[in-house]
């Protein structure tokens, strides 16, 4: 992966001048490259990585396994696109293995998600079955171990 993308993957808010020094590249060139990535859709956006357990907000997340019947000429594309249209759905993946589509769905309450599955998802043409798994706790997300911030245990001993 390009170094610029690597640095941004670690910290998308990295200051442009700092990045220029760290990568030994002119800031203008980095900016231009980033714009190109944005225009080409390589970079699709920037979001904070939130630890929802620390935010005082009601939020429930579920992983839903969906089995579907692929359609002639369209395969899984059509049904995946339809499901992707729902705002409640934050990601949709086509899977190998025992089921077809893997969804992440976010709602305010368990009931929200139950209703979404019953009223919007299960009823779609082509959906054969669903299995809903609620997220109970998050230990690691986006490569970051959640919970308490680590402290630096190193002492000024070694020289």
Quick one: 77 or 141, whose CB is closer to other proteins?
141
Roughly what angle, to the nearest 10 degrees, separates helices 27-39 and 3-10? 80
Q: How far is the CB of 18 from other proteins (least distance, A)?
A: 6
Q: How far is the CB of 144 from other proteins (least distance, A)?
A: 13
The kind and range of the H/E element at 4 are: helix 3-10
Q: How far is the CB of 21 from other proteins (least distance, A)?
A: 4
By CB under 8 A, tell whether 42 contacts other proteins.
Answer: no
By CB under 8 A, tell whether 158 contacts other proteins.
Answer: yes
By CB under 8 A, tell whether 13 contacts other proteins.
Answer: no
Site stretch for other proteins (CB under 8 A), options 17-25, 57-65, 74-82, 97-105: 17-25
Rounded CA separation 52/58 (Å)? 9
Q: Which of 12, 16, 22, 42 binds other proteins (CB under 8 A)?
A: 22
List the structure tokens of 53: 């357990």
Tell me how far apart the terminal alpha carbons of the chain are, to the nearest angstrom.
36
Quick one: 57 or 158, whose CB is closer to other proteins?
158
By CB under 8 A, tell whether 148 contacts other proteins.
Answer: no
By CB under 8 A, tell whether 94 contacts other proteins.
Answer: no
Q: Which of 12, 16, 21, 95 binds other proteins (CB under 8 A)?
A: 21
**Cβ-Cβ contacts under 8 Å for 23 (sequence gap 6 or more):** 3, 4, 7, 30
Beta bridge partners of 94: 101
**Cβ-Cβ contacts under 8 Å for 65 (sequence gap 6 or more):** 98, 99, 101, 102, 130, 131, 133
Chain residues that interact with other proteins, rule: CB under 8 A: 6-7, 11, 18, 21-24, 152, 154-159
């Amino acid at each position: 992966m390009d170094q610029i993308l690597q640095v941004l993957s670690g910290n998308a808010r990295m200051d442009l001048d700092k990045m220029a020094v760290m990568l030994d590249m002119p800031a203008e060139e980095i900016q231009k490259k980033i714009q190109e990535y944005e225009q080409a859709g390589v970079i699709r956006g920037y979001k904070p990585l939130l630890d929802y357990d620390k935010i005082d907000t009601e939020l429930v997340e579920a992983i839903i396994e969906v089995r579907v019947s692929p359609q002639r000429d369209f395969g899984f594309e059509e049904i995946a696109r339809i499901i992707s249209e729902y705002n409640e759905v934050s990601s949709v993946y086509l899977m190998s293995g025992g089921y077809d589509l893997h969804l992440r769905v976010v709602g305010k309450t368990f009931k929200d998600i139950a209703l979404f599955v019953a009223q919007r998802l299960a009823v779609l043409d082509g959906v054969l079955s669903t299995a809903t798994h609620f997220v109970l706790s998050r230990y690691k997300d986006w490569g970051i171990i959640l919970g308490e911030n680590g402290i630096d245990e190193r002492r000024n001993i070694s020289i």
